[in-house]
């Protein structure tokens, strides 16, 4: 199981305990003995296994250029979450969100700068589909079989902390 989990985490995937896709892996990691064993193995190659708030991810000490690279590779996701948070103000892990509800609320809550940076269209349906697909691809939301309904995974807190830090930085300036 360690090699399976390493393969998943090494791709930058965050494993959420409320994900149906990674249920076995999350359960395995929740056992202290398993977590510690994998973490000791990873420490030998300069990586750290982090488990917090219902999710697990790999970490390492980043140099400044690596931090910038990480941010650039996740910029679209961070912007998408910033827009989603404007539409669903009380967004949190475990919540259920619907595309149809996003569409209803979007016009009053949209951020033109974010939309322009993320999408090459003004079509609300296309924007919604692309936004939800992006969030699914990064394992932030998960469709559980209902066409319009998604569960917000625990990993959202990792990214929302980044969004909040950026927002606080903008306020301080």
- Model confidence over 13-40: pLDDT tens digits? 999 999 999 999 999 999 999 999 999 9
- Model confidence over 117-131: pLDDT tens digits? 888 888 999 999 999
What DSSP state is assigned to residue 12? Answer: T
Structure confidence at residue 64 as a pLDDT band (50, 70, 90): low
Joined together, the tokens standing for residue 169 give 């930085």
pTM of the model: 0.77
Question: Mean of the pLDDT values across residues 145-156?
Answer: 91
10: phi then psi, degrees, rounded to nearest 5? -70, -15
Strands 55-59 and 15-16: antiparallel
Domains by residue range for the chain, with CATH:
2-59 (1.10.10), 64-172 (1.10.10)
54 phi-psi bin (left φ>0, alpha ψ -120 to 50, beta other): left
Terminal alpha carbon distance of the chain: 46
What CA–CA distance (Å, rounded) separates 49 from 57?
Answer: 6
Question: Mean of the pLDDT values across residues 51-55?
Answer: 91
Q: In what order do the strands lie in the sheet with 149-152?
A: 96-98, 149-152, 141-143
What CA–CA distance (Å, rounded) separates 99 from 11?
Answer: 27
- CA–centroid distance for 8 within its chain: 15
Asked which of 54-63, 82-91, 96-105, 133-142 is least confident by mean pLDDT, the reply is 54-63
1 bridge partner residues:
none
């Amino acid at each position: 199981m360690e090699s399976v989990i390493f393969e998943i985490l090494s791709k930058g995937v965050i494993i959420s305990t409320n994900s149906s896709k990674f249920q076995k892996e999350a359960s395995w990691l929740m056992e202290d003995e398993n977590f510690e064993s994998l973490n000791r193995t990873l420490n030998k190659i300069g990586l750290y296994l982090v488990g917090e708030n219902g999710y697990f991810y790999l970490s390492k000490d980043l140099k400044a250029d690596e931090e910038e690279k990480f941010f650039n590779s996740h910029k679209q996701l961070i912007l998408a979450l910033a827009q989603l948070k404007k539409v669903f103000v009380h967004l949190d892990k475990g919540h259920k969100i619907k595309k149809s509800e996003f569409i209803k609320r979007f016009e009053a809550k949209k951020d033109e700068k974010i939309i322009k940076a993320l999408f090459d269209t003004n079509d609300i349906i296309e924007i919604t589909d692309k936004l939800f697909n992006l969030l699914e691809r990064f394992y932030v939301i998960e469709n559980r079989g209902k066409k319009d309904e998604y569960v917000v995974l625990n990993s959202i807190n990792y990214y929302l902390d980044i969004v909040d830090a950026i927002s606080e930085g903008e306020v301080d300036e």
